[in-house]
Structure 1
Amino acid sequence: MNPARHSGHGIDRRGLLRGAAGLTATLGLAATVSLGTAGRASAYGWTRTLQQGASGPDVVELQIRVGGWAASSAQQTYVGWDGAFGPATAAAVQRFQSAYGLGADGVVGPQTQSVLNSLEAGDGSTAHFNFSEFYSKDGSGFNNGKVGSATVKENIRRLMYKLEAVRKKAGNSSITINSGFRSIAHNAASGGASNSMHLYGVAADIVVSGHSTLQTYRIAETCGFSGLEAYTHSWQHVDSRVQYPSYGSGSWWWESGVA
């Protein structure tokens, strides 16, 4: 865990106006281009104000970044990555704006874009999470899973933005990643399911500082997570399985139901 990124004192300002997020906005549900060849990272280049009716790759990027603001209470819903700015995206934007002290009009202009970019980090991760925190525990990095490493990295990036929302909703409490991506070998050694979402980089087992697992579960129910393991463990499993139907788990799984 990176203490500077996980402190409870707000956004890491070193991540302000930096990040490689824009380089992957058009990759769709599964990235196929290696981020390692993308060159020096820079802040996502918003070129216009976005509002309902807009469409395009910049809307996809917006949807990724506000994905953790899918609902205001426990609800089995998520912000789709379809590039169409509709009512669900607008509502998520409004929740994001309210949480960050912005005018909650659902319009993504320069002020909202600046705050969105402040959640970036220079390597394409987010302000409070490092890619390395999600590496397979057997030293495989993002390799040897069920999809290629570049796809895993993009999936993790999208997961990070949902976790940024969890962190914000938890009062800026630090989050420890107990398990992120798992290689096939590590997943088997850990007793994971044969088609665990960890194998694709769309799942994490987390502990939120100062919060019980039940409290974390309840927060996660508002963040667009479609996979939630029971809150009877010392950690909370979260994943976005419904948004990745090609991975074979297209049904909602809230093991403890709506809390």
Structure 2
Amino acid sequence: MTTPSDSRRVAVVTGASAGIGEATARTLAAQGFHVVCVARREGPITALAAELDGTAIMADVTDPEAVAAMAGRLDRVDVLVNNAGGARGLEPVADADVEHWRWMWESNVMGTLHVTKALLPKLIASGDGLIVTVTSIAAVEIYDNGAGYTTAKHAQGVLHRTLRSELLGQPVRLTEVAPGMVQTEFSLNRFEGDAERAEKVYQGVTPLVAEDIAEVIGFVASRPAHVDLDLIVVRPRDQVSGAAGSRFNRT
């Protein structure tokens, strides 16, 4: 079993190898949590966990067996940050790449389901559990050529909101954080490593950075047990919406 040797509360952060996940792990560790860094890439999370005096667990959230093994290593979970996910492509529905859609639904929706289901008993048992699901403004809006991602993020958001209703009366709070444009590896992954195309996404605007979202998550985690911050939408000043025609239209 993996537990801290002291009385620190335990926070599990998925997708912790980079971007918002890595920044969130740092923020929660600074607040005194023992952070369990979960991701598919072993190298980055091993280094991060060593730096933060936390724990690294290599796991693909889309693999139920890997998630079950991860959960089995943990005696205690106080906070879960569902951050793993991502986008691929910008094709319209008529030209949809089915494999891109399948990957987005598996990573964003099913990954959130697998991890939340596996850790929920420990979150309830903590007596003051918190589930933070990082969705996107694509979970509350749509934009042209983003159907695969917006449908997956809408489904992820609905999963989270449904769970909040189902857990009413249980000692678990649920917060959805929906970021707008954040400059991380997100666009680089979306465009399959095309750095030039990814860089153009942020030209002419000042985007958020991963630490901006991590600070919001840290604030959520520091609230007292009776306070539930339900849905937090975070955009840069330069972004009006995700819709075509806004000053910026890709998240």
* TM-score normalised to structure 1 length: 0.30
**Of Structure 1 and Structure 2, which has the larger fraction of its residues in helix?**
2
Higher relative contact order (CA 8 A, sep 6+): 1
* TM-score normalised to structure 2 length: 0.30
**Of Structure 1 and Structure 2, which has the larger fraction of its residues in strand?**
2
